[in-house]
Amino acid sequence: MSSQLHITNGDSFTQRLKKLNLNGDIITWREMLCEGKTETDVGSESFWKTRFDFLHKHYNVSKSWFVEKTLKEYRSLCNHKQQDQIILWFEYDLFCQINMLAVISWLKSHRRYADISLVCSGKEDETNKLYGLNELSDEQLLQLYSDRIHLSQNDIEYADYVWQLYCSDNPIRLENLMDYDNYQYSYLSDAIKAHLKRFPTIKNGLNVIENQILQISESEQPTSKKALLGAALKNQGYYGFGDTQFQRVITNLKPLFSGFNPVKLTKKGKEILDGQTSYYAELRDDSAYLGGALKYNFLYNTESDRILKL
């Protein structure tokens, strides 16, 4: 008898998956590897140390929480050695796709014998809407499960390769990656494009997300910080970020707001949004990483959609 192990993208979906009564144990991958510094050797001591340092510094994650929630679950994954079918449940967005790459990279090294398959939600109907797993009905989830994609050795090697590039110190190598179409990851190309747009733009030193926060503030004039946060969450495209990630962006941009009740930009905030001046020098942080690359060592050219090294 073959046995199954499910690896999910987060706690809320784990609860949902339990109700579907599929065979096998469930492990929750509790990380957000799309933020902060990453190292290629997933699961190593230095990998987890790097991750804890980032989460502690920027999100006040305590050591006890990190051990209890992330490391214990990871150790549980390490102890699940018998299952020969491993099913990954992830979504179309950057948040999920980067976690997915890391998990596949780990499986490549530690579960060579396993049949690895992928359930990935995104485009589920004729509309332009992209769906998270929790937005789907039980019937849709079971259908996705039965149609799941079995990853070939080439697919696994490719995911590991993209993970290595994501963790490298030069994002230009990711930009030059053109052969997504040869592999079974429908949303990876768009997620990587979204990732590259997180480097500061030549135009004003803000990245696409920071510019969008200012744009919403100016055009929609939200009545409160909460309303601004809601609009940012709703209009984020391929990012898949949560409240806390947007809160951090807004905090970094705070000097550009004259108030939040209602939300108003300062004169300088408007000039930066219009590209009349740059905020690069004020934002520059030599400890800020996106994957393995220093965020402020590169600039994104919105006209050519290319990355430049400073």
Domain boundaries, the chain: 4-195, 208-309
Domain 4-195 has CATH 3.40.120.10: no
The pLDDT assigned to 235 comes to 85
The pLDDT assigned to 31 comes to 96
Q: Would the CATH topology of 4-195 be identical to that of 208-309? A: no
Question: Which residues in the chain come in under a pLDDT of 50?
Answer: none
Interstrand relation of 4-8 and 25-28 (parallel, antiparallel or unpaired): parallel
Angle between helices 11-19 and 138-146 (to 10 degrees): 90
CATH tag, 208-309 = 1.10.10
Give per-residue burial for 111-121: e unless 16+ CB within 10 Å, then b. beebebbbbbb
The pLDDT assigned to 1 comes to 55
Contact 87, 7 (CB under 8 A): yes
Residues in CB range of 118: below 8 A, 6 or more apart: 87, 88, 90, 100, 148, 149, 151, 184, 185
Backbone angles phi, psi at 257, to 5 degrees: -110, 135
The pLDDT assigned to 179 comes to 84
